[in-house]
Chain A
C-alpha cells in the first residue's frame, strides 16, 4: 500500500506543542491548530497526547479517543482497535473514551451509511502508525541508536542489540517532541494482531451494571425537565394555547411555544422537522411535567400549503409542503395512480419494450411497503445549557457536526461557543440524524436561563414523523422460449422519495433493462431508516427474482448466479455499481454453509442476496408453519465486507439486523387516518419479541484482504426477501405487501 500523507504542517506542530507543553496534537486532514481550550488536559499532566486520538500515561496506560457516536454498531470498540493495532498497543491496557464533537481533530463524526469503519480505516491506522513511529524515534534518540533497530511489541519498545527496553509511557513525552512524520508505513494485513480478533464491547460492564451512559441519564446541578406537545396530526399547527391550568400544576415552572426552525432558515439535508412549532412545558421532575401536559388546552388548525427552502448538499431546492389531512388509503391510491402512468426514466439498456413484445412469458408483480417508525428504545431527548455566551449540549445524536451548524444559525452563536458532547445512543437507525429535539432543548434552556433535559414521551416520539417512506414497485420480466431472462422493467416510487437504485443488480446482467421512478408529495416527514431505499428495493427485487426463477424452472441460487455470470463476463451498460464476482461469492458461500438443496421435512427455505452500503450479503432462511404462524428456525448469512475488524461484534450486528428485519417484514407499519398516526406506542405498533426471533442465526464471512466496509445496514435488506420466499414455500402463496404478518392472516382467513 502507498504510504498515506498525514497532512501536517510544521507550524501546527510548533503551535500545538507550545500549547500543551510537552504534548502535541496532530490530526489528519487539517493543518491549523485547535481553537478550543477545553481539549487541553490541564489536570492530567501525567498524560502525553501523541495526537488527537492517543494519550499515553507515564505508566504506559494508553487512552484512545473514539471519534464517532456509538449507537450499538460497535464503533467505540472497533475504531480504537484499528488505532491500537497500528500503535502496536496491548489492547488489554487500552482505555477508550468517547470524543466530543471536534471538527478540528476529527473528520466525519457521523453515524450514517455504514461508513465509519470504511471511511475511517486509513485515518485511524495512520493515527496509530504515526504515534508508533514517533515513539520509536524517541527511543532511538534516547538510546543513541538507529531508529531502524527499534522494534515494538504490546506497548513496549525494544533495542535488541543492546538489550534496552522501555514501555511507551516512559518514552511518550520524548515522542511528543519528535517532528510528526510526513508519511508512515502501515502494517501488512498479515501482521494485524488486534484487527480480526473478537474483542468485547468496551462499555459492556457499564451496560450490564446500569451505569449512566445514555443521554436520558444526564443530570446536572439545577437541571429542569422539559417535555413538548406537538400537533396531533400531520397537516396541523398550533392555533392557540390555554396554559392556565397546566401552569398551576405542581412542579411546573413555565409553559411556552418554541419554534425550532426560523421560517427563513435555509434547511440542509438533516434539518427535516415535522412540527417547527411546539408547546414546551418545563418543570422540576418528569412525572410532574407529564401530568401537566394533560392539563394543557391547545387549539390546532390545518396549515396552508407552503414552501420551504432547502440546500441539499449545495443544491438549492424549494419544497412544497401541501396542506391536508392525509390517510394511508389515500396514499396507496395516489401511488397506484402514478404507477399506471409513465414515470421518469432513470436507466435504459437495449430495447426493453421490443423484448417484451417478443417474449414467450411475461411476469408482472406489484409490491408495497408502509411507513415505518424507528422506535429507538431510548426516546428522543437532549440536555442543553445555553447562556448568553455559550451552549453546552449533551446527548445522543447521529450527525453532530451538521446539527451544530443549524444550532449556531438558530442561536446566533458562533460554532466555537457551542460544545456538543455525545452520549451512547439507545438506538439510532437513522432517526437521530434529524435533531430538531436538540434545537428545542437549546431554545428551552435559553428561555429558562437554566440547564434543561428535554424528554419526548414514547407517544411524542412515535407520532413525530421522520418515518421510513412508503413505497410501491412494479416489476416486469420477459422470458424467451428457452427461459432466459431477456428483459427486466422496474417502475417504483414513494412518498415522498423514490427508492430506486437504477444501477444495482440485476442492471448489468440483463440485455434489455428499464428503470423508472416517481414521487408523491406529502406533508408527512420521512428520513433515513436502516439501509434507506435498499430496505425496500432489496426486499422486492429478491422476491421478484425468486418468482422469475420459478417461472423459468430454475433453482433460485443457480438463476442468480447465471445472471451474475453475465455481469462478470459481459456486463450490460457502464454504470453498474456492484462487483459481480463478490456478489456471486456470497451466494456460493451461503449455498455451501446452508447445505442448500438438502431437504428437511416441513422446513421451508428461501434465499436472498443483496448489495448495499459497499457490502455483499446472501441469506438462506428456514421456517416451519404451525397453525398458520411462521416459526423461523434458522437464518444462514454470508457476508463480504472485506477485512472483518471485530468478528464476534460483526456477527452480533448481523444477527440483530436479521431479527430486526424479520420483525419489520412481519409486523412493522405506521398507518394514518386523517393525518393522525394510528400507532403511538408499543401496544399498537408491533415489534418483534423473543419467541418470534429465529432459533439460530449463523453468520459466515468471506475471507479476503479488501479494505473493510460497513456492517450496520447491509445484512438488513436481504432478510425480507429470504423470509417472503420461504413463506411462499410454506404457504403456497406469494405475499406482495408488507407487513407480511397481516397478509398471511388475511390469506389464511380467505383461503
Chain B
C-alpha cells in the first residue's frame, strides 16, 4: 500500500492503494468514478479509455503509480454538463444501444480530435478500431465524430 497523489478531472485526489493497481479499479472502486468501464482487462476493447494529458490510454493496463501528479480525464470530466461537442453529436445521432462501451468510444474520439481536429474517415477508423461495440453502433459513432469535428472547426 502507498499513498498516491492523483489529478483527476482537474482535482487533486489521494488514494492509498497497491501502486500496481490499474487506474481503472482506482477510479471505479476508490474514487466512485464508474463511467470508465471494465471490458477485458487486457487493453483489447477500449471500454476503460481515459485521457492521460491529451492522449487516450487504456486504464485497465495502466498502474496507478505511473500517473502520479499527471492529469487524467475520465468521461465524468470531459464536460461539466455533458455538452462537449462529441457528447452532443452522440445524442444528435442517438448513437448508443446498450451504451456500455460508449464512454470509452467518446474518450478515444476526444483524444483523436485534440490531435487531429479534422480527421479523415480512414483516420477515424484506424483510431477507433481499438474500441469494440458489441451492439454494432460503429456507423453512427463515425458520423458523430465527423459532426463534432465540424462543430469544433
Contacts and interface: CB of A to CB of B under 8 A. Distances in A.
Interface residues of B, number: 59
Point out which of B1, B45, B97, B139 has the most chain A C-beta atoms below 10 A from its C-beta: B97
A682 B42 contact: yes
A115 to B, nearest CB: 18
B151 interface: no
A205 B138 CA distance: 19
A210 B17 CA distance: 24
B68 interface: no
Contacts of B90: 204, 208
B41 A378 contact: no
Interface in B99-121: 99-103, 106
Interface string A404-421: 000000000000000000
Q: Which of B45, B96, B134 has the most CB of A within 10 A?
A: B134
B41 A457 contact: yes
B40 to A, nearest CB: 5
Nearest to B130: A689
A203 B100 CA distance: 12
Nearest to A250: B18
A682 B40 contact: yes
A378 B94 CA distance: 20
Contacts of B125: 690-691
B8 interface: no
A71 B29 contact: no
B149 interface: no
B76 interface: yes
Contacts of B141: 690
B136 A657 contact: yes
A207 interface: yes
Given A72-B99, A216-B38, A682 B76 contact: no
A663 interface: yes
A691 B121 CA distance: 9
B25 A286 contact: yes
Residue from A207, A225, A687 with most neighbouring chain B CB atoms (10 Å): A207
A690 B124 CA distance: 9
Nearest to B102: A207
Contact of A693 (B34, B45, B138): B138
Contacts of B137: 652, 655-656, 659
A653 B136 CA distance: 9
A201 B132 contact: no
A377 B45 contact: yes
Given A287-B21, A287-B29, A426-B100, A208 B132 contact: no
B126 interface: yes
Interface in A188-243: 198, 200-201, 203-205, 207-214, 216-217, 219, 225
A659 B136 contact: yes
A379 interface: yes
Nearest to B1: A250
Contact of B138 (A375, A458, A682, A690): A690
B66 interface: no
A376 interface: yes
Interface string A666-692: 000000000000000111000111110
A658 interface: yes
A509 B125 CA distance: 44
Contacts of B126: 691
Given A204-B91, A209-B75, A210-B74, A659 B102 contact: no
Interface of B: 1, 17-18, 21-22, 25, 28-30, 32-42, 44-45, 47, 74-76, 82, 86-87, 90-91, 94-103, 106, 124-126, 128-129, 131-142
Interface of A: 71-74, 198, 200-201, 203-205, 207-214, 216-217, 219, 225, 250, 285-288, 290, 375-379, 424-429, 455, 457-458, 648-649, 652-653, 655-660, 663, 681-683, 687-691, 693-694, 696-697
